[in-house]
Amino acid sequence: MIKKQIKVSNKIMLGIWEINEPLDRLEAQYHAKELERIAHYHPTKKAEHIASRQLIESMCQGLDIPFHGICKDDHGKPHLIDSPYHISISHSYPKIVALINLERPAGIDIEKPREQLLRVKRKFLNEEELAACNDNLDKLCSYWCAKESIYKIHGRKNLSFVQNIKIQKIKDSQVLCTVHRDGQQEDIILNLQKEDEYIITYNL
């Protein structure tokens, strides 16, 4: 069920869904043709798929924009069908988060701090970031979420988490980031918040 639906501004809405209903109830509220298409999905993935679409549809209603469904491009980035507006979706079962931005590309990520991040930290952090995190799970998770959000903003296209995306610092519930690509530098500020034990980052 929808846990929160926050109108961050007139142009941006954040939504949070927590899956606590049985799968058959989610399926009963979904489109028959789409259910056929995802019939082979694992039950968890199917629940995430249905809930994320229902969340985005509700958010579109909250922003008074049409919803004709969601499609993905060749890079796996989701888009509203027949719409100029931008969306981003992330899930870490049982939680799902979504972002709609009416003006610019959207990027959002949610993750729960886990020991696994310690094992893969060198795959997404440079040496300065490794030192800054100092194996703190909350910091590692915040850095991971921030880089995932930026990756989504850029459409999942040819960005190295280690070489192209740099986390400058976390300050006052914001993550200050820099993207270095093709000789250009782009500064991005992300919002950082906690939802229960989960960490969420997203752009404005």
The CATH number of whichever domain residue 137 belongs to comes to 3.90.470
Q: Do 126 and 199 have their domain in common?
A: yes
Residue that finishes a domain, picked among 89, 106, 123:
106
Largest CA distance in the chain: 51
pTM: 0.95
Q: Do 37 and 116 have their domain in common?
A: no
Q: How far, CA to CA in Å, does 164 sit from each of 60, 126, 161, 202?
A: 33, 10, 6, 18
CB neighbours of residue 149 within 10 Å: 29
Q: Do 119 and 51 have their domain in common?
A: no
What local confidence, expressed as pLDDT, does residue 33 receive? 87
The closest alpha carbon to 71, from 34, 29, 23, belongs to: 34
Q: Do 153 and 101 have their domain in common?
A: no
Specify the number of domains making up the chain: 2
Write the pLDDT tens digit of every residue in 21-74: 999 999 998 988 889 999 999 999 999 999 999 999 999 999 999 999 999 999
Write the pLDDT tens digit of every residue in 128-166: 999 999 999 999 999 999 999 999 999 877 899 999 999
Instruction: List phi, psi (to 5°) of 72.
Output: -120, 145
Q: Do 97 and 114 have their domain in common?
A: no
Q: Do 115 and 198 have their domain in common?
A: yes
What local confidence, expressed as pLDDT, does residue 47 receive? 97
- One-letter amino acid identity for 190? L
Q: Are 96 and 17 in contact (CB under 8 A)?
A: yes
Q: How far, CA to CA in Å, does 64 sit from each of 57, 67, 77?
A: 10, 9, 23
Q: Do 13 and 102 have their domain in common?
A: yes
Structural domain for 118, as ranges: 110-203
Q: Do 170 and 143 have their domain in common?
A: yes
Residue that finishes a domain, picked among 106, 131, 165:
106
- One-letter amino acid identity for 148? E
Residue that finishes a domain, picked among 75, 106, 137:
106
End-to-end CA distance of the chain: 25
Q: Do 168 and 191 have their domain in common?
A: yes
Q: Do 126 and 176 have their domain in common?
A: yes
Q: Do 155 and 115 have their domain in common?
A: yes
What's the rounded Cα separation, in Å, for the pair 188 and 69? 29
Q: Do 73 and 144 have their domain in common?
A: no
Tell me, what CATH number does 83's domain have? 3.90.470.20
Query: What are the tokens at 181?
Result: 């690509």
